[in-house]
């Protein structure tokens, strides 16, 4: 049965959230992509506890973001650039939201009355 190309090429959401444990572990592995690390080594270098590091690495492996040989996790060299750009994109989004004012300090009272209607009959 033919499959629509949209289904084949649709990007899945990136499964790592900014400032999460997955983010910390994946960032560490991307930075040190020349080596593989056990969860214990990742925990020691990322300030995650050993159990959390082990669980995080299992989740990252299940999503296909990291590879595992025995109990050593690593990044495929061909994935490094893409993962690096994805993490940088998350960092940019965090910085953007941190820089956005929490109030509407630039708005003036009654501004919405000055905006013309998009309703042609209104």
Taking Cα atoms as reference points, which of 63, 68, 79 lies closest to residue 12? 63
Q: Using an 8 Å Cβ cutoff, are 80 and 88 in contact?
A: no
Query: What pLDDT sits at residue 10?
Result: 60
pLDDT digits (tens, 9 = 90+) for 30-87: 999 999 999 999 999 999 999 999 999 999 999 999 999 999 999 999 999 999 988 8
Structural domains counted in the chain:
1
Which tokens in the block code for residue 96?
């953007």
Query: What pLDDT sits at residue 111?
Result: 65
Q: Is the pLDDT of residue 101 over 90?
A: no
Task: Let me know if residue 74 belongs to a domain.
Answer: yes
Q: Using an 8 Å Cβ cutoff, are 17 and 23 in contact?
A: yes
DSSP string spanning 76-109? -GGGHHHHHHHHHHHHHHHHHHHHS-SS-TT--T
pLDDT digits (tens, 9 = 90+) for 5-18: 666 656 677 788 88
Q: What is the CATH number of the domain that holds 65?
A: 1.10.10.10
The secondary structure of residue 16, as a DSSP letter, is -
Task: Let me know if residue 3 belongs to a domain.
Answer: no
Query: What pLDDT sits at residue 105?
Result: 55
Write down the pTM of the prediction: 0.71
Task: Let me know if residue 53 belongs to a domain.
Answer: yes
């Amino acid at each position: 049965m033919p499959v629509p190309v949209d289904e084949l090429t649709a990007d899945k959401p990136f499964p790592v959230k900014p400032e999460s444990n997955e983010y910390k572990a994946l960032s560490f592995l991307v930075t040190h992509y020349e080596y593989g690390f056990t969860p214990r080594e990742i925990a020691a270098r990322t300030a995650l506890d050993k159990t959390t590091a082990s669980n995080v690495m299992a989740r990252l492996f299940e999503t296909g973001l990291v590879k595992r040989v025995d109990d050593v996790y690593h990044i495929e060299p061909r994935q490094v650039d893409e993962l690096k750009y994805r993490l940088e994109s998350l960092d940019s989004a965090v910085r953007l939201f941190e820089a956005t004012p929490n109030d509407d300090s630039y708005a003036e009272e009654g501004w919405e009355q000055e905006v013309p209607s998009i309703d042609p009959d209104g």
